[in-house]
Structures are given as C-alpha cells and as structure tokens.
Amino acid sequence: MLLIDKREPEKLTNVIKKVATTKSINFEMQNLDCGDFVFTDESICIERKTLIDLYGSYRDGRIKSQLKRMEGFERPFLIIVGRDEQDVWINGKIVWPVSTQDHAIVSILSKYKTKIIKVKNDNKLIDTIFEIRERVIEGNNKPVGINWIKKSDVVDQNYVYYLSTHGIGEKTAIEIMKKYPKFYDFLTAFMEGTLEVKLRKNTIKMLETAI
C-alpha cells in the first residue's frame, strides 16, 4: 500500500497515482502525520522537500521533529528537489548559500538515520520513489541511478567547515581531526562527554545548541 499526503501538489500526486496504478500498487490519499509518501508493507517513509521548504523547516526547527518521527520507519528517506549547487533566494537576496546547505546536510546525517537523496525535479522524484521500493523488494541496497548522499562522503568532506562554523580555529580543528578522523566519532565523543580535546565554553554552547 502506498499512502500519499493530500497536501502535496495535485499535479505531482496525480502522476504518482497513475504510476502506482500501472505497477499494480494500491494507494490512498491521507493527511499523513509523518512523511509525504509511505509504502506501508516495506516500511518506507519518504519526505519531499524543495530547497526553499528545507530552508524554512531547518530555520524554524521543524525538520528535527519530522526526522525524529520518520525514525519510526525502517527505511526513512529525505528527498531534496532542486538543482545541485543552487543558492536559495528570497526577495532578490541569497538567504541560504550552498555552503550553508552543506552544513545542514552534515547536521542531519550526523544525527539521524534518514538517508538523503537529491533530485533535479519532480519527474526524477517520482522515478526515485518507486525505485526505492523496487530495490527494497529485490533486496538490493546499492544506490545505482540515484544521487544518494553517503554519510561518510558528505560528513567527512565538510568536517573542517562544520568545525569552523562552531567557533573552532584551525589549530584546534587539526588536533580534533588527528584524534577523531571521522566526524561521527568526534560528535559521538562530544555527546557522550568523552571528548579528549579541550574546547572553549562558547564553542561547547554552540555545539550543544546544534545537537
């Protein structure tokens, strides 16, 4: 069974319903409390966000509660719809540059089990939704054909950036990376209170707020 949130754009949901019909997948339109598309039999929960949606929900904190609820499913996915390397503009001003978007993705990947996928448009979104289900049924977890953002790739590439945005200077950052080569190890040690690198009080406060 495929559950589709009634609040999603009608043009999008109409196409999804047609595809589901051709694949002999039963579907229902509901006001979902969690996610926008849910395959109940496969425990797949998919949240669709445009870049502007993600900006708004990340800024006001809604994304945290959404991702938390999604963890009740075995396979939670966040699909971001929009071109790569695209700044978010509002009223002629850049409000969310690509670098800050990377920071948000790093934060999400480090705290939640949700997988993140980027697609260019809703047509690709539709393909991806059904491809995820098909791969689960086949027992194939390889992200062939999907722009799947791997935690190890994105988090470690943005390690220095994340540290710098939380008031950690270059010298301390180098010390941290020598002690904790993986970003996830650093974050775990910080949360568990076992961090072996001394941080300034304001840095500790910034990290506690972010986590």
CATH number of the domain that 17 lies in? 3.40.50.10130
- The model's confidence at residue 150, banded by pLDDT at 50, 70 and 90, is low
Examine the domain organization and report whether 91 and 179 are in the same domain.
no
Same domain, 124 and 193: no
Residues 5, 6, 12, 14: what is their CA dihedral angle, to the nearest 10 degrees? 110
Q: Where among 150, 166, 183 does a domain terminate?
A: 150
> Tens digits of per-residue pLDDT, 43-68?
999 999 998 999 899 888 899 899 99
Residues 136 and 86 in one domain: yes
Nearest alpha-carbon partner for 161 in 147, 148, 177: 177
If asked whether residues 46 and 28 sit together in one domain, one would say: yes
- Indicate if 87 and 113 belong to the same structural domain: yes
Q: Are 73 and 44 in contact (CB under 8 A)?
A: yes
Which domain-ending residue is among 150, 168, 202?
Answer: 150
Residue 133 belongs to what domain range?
2-150
DSSP symbols for the chain? -EEEETTS-HHHHHHHHHHHHHTT--EEEE--SS-SEEETTTTEEEEEEEHHHHHHHHHHTHHHHHHHHHTTSSEEEEEEES-TT--EEETTEEEE-HHHHHHHHHHHHHH---EEEEESSHHHHHHHHHHHHHHHHHT----TTS-EE-HHHHHHHTHHHHHHTTT--HHHHHHHHHH-SSHHHHHHHHHHT---S---HHHHHHHHHH-
- Taking the C-alpha atoms of residue 180 and residue 186, their distance in angstroms, rounded to an integer, is 5
Q: Is residue 146 domain-shared with residue 182, that is, in the same domain?
A: no
Give the count of domains, the chain: 2
125 and 49, same structural domain?
yes
Q: Does residue 160 register a pLDDT over 70? A: no
> Do 23 and 102 reside in the same domain of the chain?
yes
CB 36 within 8 A of CB 69: no
Higher-pLDDT residue of 19 and 109 is 19
* Same domain flag for 145 and 165: no
| Boundary-marking domain end, from 150, 179, 201 | 150
Q: Are residues 130 and 88 in the same domain?
A: yes
Alpha carbon dihedral 90, 70, 122, 20, in 10-degree steps, equals -160
For residue 211, the model assigns a pLDDT of: 59
Please indicate, yes or no, whether residues 19 and 109 belong to a single structural domain of this protein.
yes
State how far the Cα of 175 lies from the Cα of 149, in Å rounded to an integer: 27
Inter-CA distances, 175 with 130, 186, 207, Å:
44, 11, 17
pTM over 0.75: no
Claim to verify: residue 129 and residue 186 sit in the same structural domain: no
Average pLDDT estimate for 154-178:
71
